[in-house]
């Protein structure tokens, strides 16, 4: 195949015509395809579905308003769907209810605050949308199997780990 391609290009170089430029481009395209076919094929990710876009928007909006403790109805209104449609989309995309996902978002935000600050548990609880420190501690312990104070105490320290 390469030899045939070289012969065609050689003829175009020796006796150029008005189509020679197209012949060079065609040869370059054939060479590119030849190389690309030898590379391992990677699967292209599918574009996000409309439900994925809504779920991502809902999670992003919720994560920025944890302290306000928005309800599923509030989130649904913000992403322009009904609460039941939002629940269905969460099941389809995340295989979980919105409440479970939002609970995880609150927990992750609290872990970040615990790791990066010296805020009191009450302040962490308020910032992450928990009604009080005891509610926060109970939720944290149920998920992490240890108290927030113990989790914070056991964080790694030393070079590369900066606790503010």
Residue 95 gets the label, from left (phi > 0), alpha (psi -120 to 50) or beta, of: left
Confidence of residue 156 (pLDDT cuts 50, 70, 90): confident
Taking a C-beta distance cutoff of 8 angstroms, is the pair 124, 110 a contact?
yes
pLDDT in tens, 118-143: 999 999 999 999 999 999 999 999 99
**Of all residues in the chain, what percent carry a pLDDT higher than 70?**
95
Q: If you average pLDDT over residues 140-162, what whole number do you get?
A: 82
Confidence of residue 1 (pLDDT cuts 50, 70, 90): confident
- Quote the pTM value: 0.69
**Of all residues in the chain, what percent carry a pLDDT higher than 90?**
71
**How many residues in the chain?**
164
Q: If you average pLDDT over residues 107-117, what whole number do you get?
A: 95
CA dist 98 to 58, 64, 83, 133, 153, Å?
Answer: 9, 15, 10, 23, 31
Confidence of residue 56 (pLDDT cuts 50, 70, 90): very high
pLDDT recorded at residue 162? 53
Q: Give me the DSSP letters along 7-65.
A: HHHHHHHHS--TTHHHHHHHHHHHHHHHHHHHSPPPPPPPPPPHHHHHHHHHHHHHHTT
Query: CA dihedral defined by 148, 150, 152, 156, rounded to 10 degrees?
Result: -150
Question: Is residue 112 scored above 80 in pLDDT?
Answer: yes
Q: If you average pLDDT over residues 69-87, what whole number do you get?
A: 97
């Amino acid at each position: 195949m390469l030899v045939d391609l070289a012969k065609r290009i050689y003829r175009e170089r020796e006796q150029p015509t008005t189509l020679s430029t197209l012949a060079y481009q065609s040869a370059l395209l054939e060479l590119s395809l030849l190389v690309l076919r030898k590379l391992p094929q990677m699967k292209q990710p599918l574009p996000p579905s409309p439900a994925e876009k809504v779920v991502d928007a809902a999670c992003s909006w919720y994560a920025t308003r944890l302290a306000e403790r928005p309800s599923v109805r509030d989130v649904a209104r913000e992403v322009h769907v009904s609460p039941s449609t939002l629940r269905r989309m969460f099941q389809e995309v995340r295989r979980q209810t919105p409440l479970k996902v939002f609970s995880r978002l609150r927990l992750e935000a609290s872990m970040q605050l615990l790791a990066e600050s010296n805020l009191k548990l009450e302040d962490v609880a308020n910032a992450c949308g928990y009604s009080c420190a005891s509610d926060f501690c109970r939720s944290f312990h149920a998920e992490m199997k240890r108290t927030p104070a113990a989790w914070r105490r056991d964080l790694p320290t030393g070079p590369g780990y900066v606790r503010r």
